[in-house]
Amino acid sequence: MNISLQQYRRLLVDYLRPQRGRVLWLGLLLAANIVLQLVNPQLMRSFLDQALAGAAMSALTALALIFMAIALAQQLVAVGATYLGENVAWTATNLLRSDLARHCLRLDMAFHTEHTPGEMIERIDGDVNALALFFSQFVLQVLSNGILLLGVLALLFREALGVGLALTTFVAVTLLILNRLRDAAVPYWKQSRAASADYFGFVEERLVGMEDIRALGAQAYVLRRFYALLRRFWQTTVKARLLGFALVNTAWVLFSVGTAVAFVAGARLYQRGELTIGGVYLIVHYTGMLSMPMQRIMQEMERLQQAGAGAARIHELLAEASAIEPEHASPNALSEATLPGGPLAVALERVSFAYEAVDDGAAQEYVLGDLSFALASGRVLGLLGRTGSGKTTIARLLARLYDPWQGRVCLGGVDLRRAHPAQVRSRVGVVTQHVQLFHATVRDNLTFFDAGVADAQIIALLDELGLSAWYRSLEYGLDTILEADGGGLSAGEAQLLAFARIFLKDPGLVILDEASSRLDPATEHLIERAIDRLLHNRTAIIIAHRLATVHRADEILILEGGRILERGDRIALAADPGSRFARLLQTGIEEVLA
């Protein structure tokens, strides 16, 4: 993906506009630096000419002091510009990181299934880092050094017309050559950024699965893959840097030619008596100064190559669209509908769904095929089936993590394609077998960082769930920091905290996806009363392998291969010796459906 100047301009405008004041001050500091750089050589020229002419020591001392004062002021201005530039860069890149993180959170599960967390960290942080100097100094450095370049050439014309013409031609030819080389490394920097994302994604996944890797003796395989990805990262980065260095080395060769031209021209003009020693120094010094703005412009161009690779991947990421957002629905479904209050009725109408598709858009293999059923509001459905039968997929469709390929999924009579995903998820509560806890306070883990929930409400809920003793053992109460992924908690405590989240959410549909399978016997009785209250006056779907949870269901639905094998009233099915459900009760659900 090639980045156009318009896209670069949009990035600059979007993320530098909020910092207009600081950017203006940065521009003024860079302008002051240019003036000071041009003035000091004039003082040195005057010092040399007056010293050779036998000027008084007081006059020479005054020139030296002024020279030192300007040099010191130039350094202070440079430090101020660097400090301000870093602040501008960090503010702009942090805003961009926030926008990228917000955009990724809005993308659907299909996108996140294809990309590892490590890869996303690298794309949100690593690619943005490549743009830091682009935001802070690229335009201002190119502009200020361009002005410095023109100022130096103007002063050279003032000293000697021939020298000015020769060095202007040299500058034009040099910039033309370097501009031709500018884009050569961009594809390689893009490959380097992609290799970096793959590498960090691999490391993140293996660190998470370290226990399984050790238990299975797979260290050697992991290290081989690690070295292969690291080698690719190294090779692509070396190629990109070599092409960047080729640009820099070409510039140095050309600058050396320019310096040689200045020495020869200055010597000839001095021999003719057309220039003083001070004038020769000025030409040589200004010629050396030509290399500085040109070198900085080329450095910015090299950084632009790196920024271009990062910017291309950022634009690709921002171009990703969620397939479940309302704006991507059919034209007839663009007006968002509101889910009703209270318990929600559930209806799946001829729903077909697959997680993957082939190139022509057809599903490779349907997880659910032409599935239809309805559940009245306030009823509890026990959803049974072997692993892979489609139970969890139904839960994901009801939470609108995915949309069906065909058919409709309705809650409260509303097609979920017409409802905003955020509203759906506020009305649907899901408790899964694995509880995701964050490295944050107990309060934030229960409220999902919603500061509007009162502490008294949280404490009363913990007491009702039988967690009062656990809460009292916390050193800092609700401000106690929990370890990431539930470290330090038993499986039962983590599961009870997940139920507490649902109570605080107060949804109209509750989905328990094998939620009690991780509860130890000592903890399981604590949640029985909580489940009864949670299911009161709510619609519920219980995905379970255990008799203890199935007995709460009003209705039973048994899936096999994404299709309904059996459906009916739980009591009636249990009383019918010919039903599949009755045979499961006799055999033991844990063994048959595992």
Interval 143-159 mean pLDDT: 80
**Are 42 and 116 in the same domain?**
yes
Please give the model's pTM, rounded to 2 decimal places: 0.65
CB 328 within 8 A of CB 322: yes
Q: Which domain holds residue 536?
A: 379-389+425-437+483-593
- pLDDT category at 519 given cuts 50, 70, 90 is low
CB 354 within 8 A of CB 363: yes
**Are 136 and 274 in the same domain?**
yes
**Are 97 and 214 in the same domain?**
yes
**Are 243 and 384 in the same domain?**
no
**Are 27 and 174 in the same domain?**
yes
Return the top range by mean pLDDT from 267-276, 420-429, 526-535.
Answer: 420-429
Encode pLDDT of 268-287 as tens digits: 777 777 777 887 777 777 77
Query: Which residues neighbour 548 within 8 Å (Cβ) at sequence distance 6 or greater?
Result: 516, 524
Tokens of 459: 């404490």
Residue 301, pLDDT above cutoff 80: no
What DSSP designation does 328 have?
A: G
CB 287 within 8 A of CB 262: yes
Residue 500, pLDDT above cutoff 80: yes
Interval 10-37 mean pLDDT: 83
Rounded Cα–Cα distance for residues 317 and 312 (Å) = 9
**Are 384 and 299 in the same domain?**
no
Q: Identify which has the larger pLDDT, 230 or 252.
A: 230
- Tell the burial category of 197 from Cβ atoms under 10 Å away from its Cβ (0-12, 13-18, 19+): buried
Domain count within the chain: 2
Tokens of 423: 């509203």
Q: What is the pLDDT of residue 523?
A: 65
**Are 385 and 306 in the same domain?**
no
Q: Identify which has the larger pLDDT, 406 or 315.
A: 406
Please state the three-class secondary structure of 88-139 as a single string: HHHHHHHHHHHHHHHHHHHCCHHHHHHCCHHHHHHHHHHHHHCCHHHHHHHH
Encode pLDDT of 443-478 as tens digits: 998 888 888 889 999 998 888 877 888 888 888 889
**Are 49 and 152 in the same domain?**
yes
Q: What is the pLDDT of residue 330?
A: 44
**Are 270 and 184 in the same domain?**
yes
Q: Identify which has the larger pLDDT, 161 or 403.
A: 403
Interval 127-152 mean pLDDT: 73
**Are 430 and 283 in the same domain?**
no
Interval 199-227 mean pLDDT: 82
- pLDDT category at 252 given cuts 50, 70, 90 is confident
**Are 383 and 522 in the same domain?**
yes
Pairing type for strands 346-353 and 368-375 reads antiparallel
CA nearest neighbour of 375 among 542, 497, 237: 542
Return the top range by mean pLDDT from 74-78, 201-205, 270-274, 360-364.
Answer: 74-78
Percentage of the chain beyond pLDDT 70 is 85
- pLDDT category at 546 given cuts 50, 70, 90 is low
334 occurs within a structural domain: no
Average pLDDT of the chain, as a whole number: 80
Residue 81, pLDDT above cutoff 90: no
Rounded Cα–Cα distance for residues 550 and 548 (Å) = 6
The CATH number for 492's domain is 3.40.50.300
Q: Which of the listed residues 272, 303, 319 is the one where a domain comes to its end?
A: 319
**Are 144 and 279 in the same domain?**
yes
